[in-house]
Amino acid sequence: MNKRIAKIPRHSGLKVFKKGVQSLSRLTASEYRDMMKIMMFVVDGLYSEDLSNVYVKWNEMYLLSRLENFKESDLQDFQKAINDWGNIFIKLFRDFSRSNLKFPKLHSWIYHIVDTIREYGAINGYTTETYESLHKIYVKIPYRLSNKKDVEKQIMENIRCRAIVMRNRVKKTKTPVAFTYTAKLFDFNFSEAIINEHRDNPKLNKNMSKVDNFHDRPWFNNIAINMNIEELSNYQTDNGICYAQTLLITEIRLPNKSTPLHLALVQWYDFKSEITPFVYGCPLLELVELYNFIEIEAIEDTIHVVPRFDKNNEYFVNKYLF
């Protein structure tokens, strides 16, 4: 299990544990959350399907718990998610608990949290995290910056200066992650002069080799692609989305065209099975020998693809990156 955790591929915003977790003395709350996003893949096939499903049900329940506003239908879905997770959790771990999992917090969560939300509002409103953060920014940090004389006056002056700086700060426009392709690997200029110059070049039959590693690490982006509506019937998709690996980003200029083409060379994933395309609520894919150039604008987002351990050419698309 520790070796599997160490082999989980990296992804933006997800902490990876390249040395596993056995060497860690303790985990932070943030690290626990990142662990929960990958554990159903780590334990896949190690014990029983219920062990993976208990993590799947936890994530489904956790995502619903983070809603800021609940309708009655949301509360009903939330209660069902709690029951589904609770049933598997108790079945798996009751025999390992001296009290048979008779914990006040577990009881309160399963039987009372939905009624509490009806009365007091979303769970996020109960947390002290927001107030602790404000206390740190507006009290602790300014206090440490003071010389401990006339502390309140210095704190207020520090806050005033901070507000002025924040108000006058110019925000830079941020390009969405999916379209941040500033470093082009190849740039072709298709003009008549270039074509004529190289038409008889004997070296044009050379092949360009593809490697899966850069500095001994996987180096490619897995992406979700919006498929053409007219072609959806030709493919098995995930609600109109197909998946691929990006192998090359290029800009091509054509004669008599002022606007260049921005294309990506991709290798496609396909669903492993038409009968069971989803496992643990995630697409189960295989990499196929099919390559195409696509327009960069068709790229919906980058995705986290996790190889299925002890299986050949099977991959999960991680749907639990909350």
pLDDT along the chain (322 residues), means of 10: 91 87 82 92 92 95 92 96 96 93 94 92 70 80 88 89 77 48 48 63 62 57 87 83 91 81 92 94 95 90 94 96 86
Name the one residue in this structure whose structure tokens are 């082999």: 7
Tell the burial category of 100 from Cβ atoms under 10 Å away from its Cβ (0-12, 13-18, 19+).
Answer: exposed
Residue 186 token pair:
């190849």
pLDDT score, position 172: 52
Sign of CA dihedral 54, 48, 284, 247: positive
Sign of CA dihedral 143, 149, 152, 156: negative
Last residue of one domain, picked from the residues 94, 126, 158: 126
Alpha-carbon Rg for the chain, nearest whole angstrom, is 26
Residue 267 inside a domain? The answer is yes
Tell the burial category of 202 from Cβ atoms under 10 Å away from its Cβ (0-12, 13-18, 19+).
Answer: exposed
Domain that holds residue 36: 2-126
Name the one residue in this structure whose structure tokens are 């718990």: 65
Coil, helix or strand for 100?
coil
Same domain, 48 and 93: yes
Same domain, 195 and 313: yes
pLDDT score, position 180: 45
Same domain, 149 and 218: no
Same domain, 26 and 100: yes
Same domain, 151 and 230: no
pTM over the 0.85 mark: no
Q: Is residue 39 left, alpha or beta, with left meaning phi > 0 and alpha meaning psi from -120 to 50?
A: alpha
C-alpha distances in Å from residue 145, one per residue of 132, 136, 159, 164: 18, 12, 11, 17
pLDDT score, position 176: 47
Same domain, 14 and 118: yes
Residue 205 inside a domain? The answer is no
8 A C-beta contact, residue 285 and residue 243: yes
